A and B are shown apart, each in its own frame.
Chain A
């Protein structure tokens, strides 16, 4: 399941989606808003997406991971809007028969989401609001 959402992300919901008795391994990555950003202290982050393209690119990355590692199930959900420190911006979950595939696929997906998916973040503090530097999609 691939999704861009404005809703709070639930790890329990993701775990339920990944349930599969043929999978012996389950790997989860969660990205949280931290206090220290690129420009100093952060109180919240505003995430913006070109949602239609973002979901299409995430499905493309999912297919690549599927081809490379033959994973069982995959969930990748990115939250957008204003998120406070400590809130979760992204959850990626992968289930596979053995741990190697789950670890590798999870790492591949988050690394590619960060460089290929049209999502942007603006760090907000009491003093300033700045869009963070990023990577041009190739």
Chain B
């Protein structure tokens, strides 16, 4: 029974890879981070977990948007471990 519970817990979590760019990458010190979240969570949930794990990003919480598979999304978008997620600060190309 214990083994079954353990297996169930493992499969109920997703390891989400999140790419960071520009100032967010520099503040964290890495271009990609991994966040473990329960399966089926939303972008908002993921962002909250990121801010818990990397409190240095809190002052940027209203200064980035989240993309899922190269599309900027709303907070209620559900994510999976196969999605490519990125945090994008304000853009300034050209």
Contacts and interface: CB of A to CB of B under 8 A. Distances in A.
Nearest to A116: B91
A120 B92 contact: yes
B86 A53 contact: yes
A118 B94 contact: no
A50 B21 contact: yes
Contacts of A116: 91
Contacts, number: 84
A136 B90 contact: yes
Contact of A48 (B22, B67, B70): B22
A20 B78 CA distance: 46
A110 B23 CA distance: 23
A13 interface: no
Nearest to A31: B94
Q: Closest 6 A-B residue pairs measured CB to CB?
A: A119-B93, A134-B90, A134-B92, A120-B22, A53-B70, A114-B94
Interface of B: 19, 21-23, 25, 63-65, 67, 70, 72, 86, 88-94
